[in-house]
Chains A and B, each alone.
Chain A
Amino acid sequence: MAGKPKLYYFNGRGRMESVRWLLAAAGIEFVEEFLETREQYEKLLQDGALLFQQVPMVEIDGMKMVQTRAILGYIAAKHNLYGKNLKERALIDMYVEGTRDLMDLIRVHHKFSPEEQEKNLALINERATARYFPVYEKVLKDHGTEFLVGNQLTWADVQLIEAILMVEEKVSTILSKFPLLQDFKTRICNIPTIKKFLQPGSQRKPPPDESYVVTANRVFNRK
């Protein structure tokens, strides 16, 4: 019964990318079924495989898990990436919600018109440099350890590196005022499982392009 986790989503980042990152960081192999047609989606619905009729969905440990946050929390807890007590969990939860909010700004970026994209880019820049990255820079500075929480790799570190790389794709100099985050980036990217995930040929997905948008619209019957 215990096979590899199976991810159901589009062949692109979207909301599933954080799940891919966390599984990869934990060294867990996974398989993927990519939604490409409306028929595939309808079959999943008819089979009752999508609790709230939505993806992401991950088949794992006999469950068909939905809701990104629930999936991530389960994987983190299962693979010892959720800290060692309630207080560490609280910190991790706060930190990942922050990076989630930042990444959500980028996740929807490709849906906007060119004028809206310009505004959104300014917002991403402002939020990253004035609201989010200063927090993580200060966390690292205050306790002077390698990781955000509890002196070991946790989900918070994995999500932060994902967020950093995503923002850098939009604003390449975004870490210029954050020396500790620059060190953090180098360090975390060198962790063997993460280094592997960052290499070409891994299951990491590229930023969304036209065909990704077209496919999602087709599957969800959006005009």
Chain B
Amino acid sequence: MPGKPKLHYANGRGKMESIRWLLAAAGVEFEEQFIETKEDLEKLRSDGLLLFQQVPMVEIDGMKMVQTRAILSYLAAKYNLYGKDLKERALIDMYVEGTTDLMGIIMYLPFQPPEAKEKNLALITDKATTRYFPVYEKVLKDHGQDYLVGNHFTWADVHLLEAILMAEECKSDILSKFPLLQAFKGRISNIPTIKKFLQPGSQRKPPPDEKYIAQVKQTFNV
């Protein structure tokens, strides 16, 4: 029965990308079934596979899990990336919610009207450099360790790297004032499972392009 986890989503980043990152970081192979048309989505719904009629959905360990946060927490706990006690979990949860908020703003950028693009990019840069990155820079500075929590690799580190790379796609020098985050980026990117995920040919998805955006709007009525 235990096969590979199977991911149901559009063929693009969206809310599923953090899940791809976490599975990859944990060294877990996974399969994907891409939703390309309204009919694909309707079939999943009418087959009763989507608890709240929504994706992401991940078939794993006999469950059809939905809700991104629930899926990520399950994976983190299962693959020992959720810290060793309640306090470490609390820190990881806080940090991950922060990077989720930042990535959330970036994720919606392509779906905003083109006139608002410059304004939204400025907002992303502002939030990244004044609200979020200073926090993680300080965390690393205060304990002087390689990882955000508990001196070992956790979900918080994976999520932060994902956020950093996404932010850099918006503004390539966004880490210029954050030397510890730059070092962190180098370090985490070199972890073998992550290095592999960052190479061409992996299941990592590219930033959304025009075609993807149009398809998502059509399929999901966005």
Q: Which residues of A contact B (CB under 8 A)?
A: 51-53, 61, 63, 65-67, 69-70, 73-74, 77-78, 86-87, 89-90, 93-94, 97-98, 101, 131-132, 135
Residue among A65, A78, A94, A131 making CB contact with B94, cutoff 8 Å: A65
Q: Quick check: A98 and B93 within 8 Å, CB to CB?
A: no
Residue among A52, A74, A89, A101 making CB contact with B73, cutoff 8 Å: A89
Residue pairs across A and B with Cβ atoms less than 8 A apart, 13 shown, are A51-B135, A53-B131, A63-B90, A66-B97, A70-B90, A73-B93, A90-B73, A90-B74, A93-B69, A93-B73, A94-B65, A94-B66, A94-B70
Give CA–CA (A196, B54) in the complex, Å: 36
Q: Quick check: A86 and B52 within 8 Å, CB to CB?
A: no
Give CA–CA (A73, B93) in the complex, Å: 8
A86-B78, A135-B51 known; A51+B94 contact, CB < 8 A: yes
Q: Chain A residues near B101: list those with CB within 8 A.
A: 52
Q: Chain A residues near B70: list those with CB within 8 A.
A: 90, 93-94, 97
Q: Quick check: B94 and A67 within 8 Å, CB to CB?
A: yes
Q: Which residues of B contact A (CB under 8 A)?
A: 51-53, 61, 63, 65-67, 69-70, 73-74, 77-78, 86-87, 89-90, 93-94, 96-98, 101, 131-132, 135
Give CA–CA (A98, B67) in the complex, Å: 8
Q: Quick check: A77 and B135 within 8 Å, CB to CB?
A: no
Residue among B61, B74, B78, B86 making CB contact with A77, cutoff 8 Å: B86
Residue among B52, B87, B98 making CB contact with A63, cutoff 8 Å: B87
Q: Quick check: B89 and A73 within 8 Å, CB to CB?
A: yes
Give CA–CA (A89, B69) in the complex, Å: 12
Residue among B53, B61, B90, B131 making CB contact with A131, cutoff 8 Å: B53
Majority-rule SS of A interface residues: helix
Residue among A65, A86, A97 making CB contact with B77, cutoff 8 Å: A86
Give CA–CA (A101, B15) in the complex, Å: 15
Give CA–CA (A78, B89) in the complex, Å: 11
Q: Shortest CB–CB separation between residue B46 and chain A, in angstroms? A: 14
Give CA–CA (A98, B97) in the complex, Å: 17
Q: Shortest CB–CB separation between residue B79 and chain A, in angstroms? A: 11
Q: Shortest CB–CB separation between residue B127 and chain A, in angstroms? A: 9
A93-B73, A131-B53 known; A70+B93 contact, CB < 8 A: yes
Majority-rule SS of B interface residues: helix
Give the residue name and chain of the B residue nearest to A132 (CB). B52
Q: Chain A residues near B53: list those with CB within 8 A.
A: 131
Q: Shortest CB–CB separation between residue A134 and chain B, in angstroms? A: 10
Q: Quick check: A52 and B74 within 8 Å, CB to CB?
A: no
Q: Shortest CB–CB separation between residue A3 and chain B, in angstroms? A: 17
Give CA–CA (A118, B74) in the complex, Å: 38
A70-B90, A78-B86, A98-B51 known; A52+B98 contact, CB < 8 A: yes
Given A53-B131, A74-B93, A135-B52, 18 additional A-B pairs, CB 8 A? A51-B94, A52-B135, A63-B90, A65-B94, A66-B94, A69-B93, A70-B94, A73-B90, A77-B86, A86-B77, A86-B78, A89-B74, A90-B74, A93-B69, A93-B73, A94-B65, A97-B69, A97-B70
Q: Chain A residues near B94: list those with CB within 8 A.
A: 51, 65-67, 70
Q: Chain B residues near A63: list those with CB within 8 A.
A: 87, 90
Q: Shortest CB–CB separation between residue B43 and chain A, in angstroms? A: 18
Q: Chain A residues near B78: list those with CB within 8 A.
A: 86
Q: Quick check: B74 and A86 within 8 Å, CB to CB?
A: yes
Q: Quick check: B89 and A77 within 8 Å, CB to CB?
A: yes
Q: Chain A residues near B63: list those with CB within 8 A.
A: 87, 90
Q: Shortest CB–CB separation between residue A192 and chain B, in angstroms? A: 26
Give CA–CA (A55, B78) in the complex, Å: 30
A89-B73, A93-B69, A94-B51 known; A70+B97 contact, CB < 8 A: yes
Q: Shortest CB–CB separation between residue B209 and chain A, in angstroms? A: 28
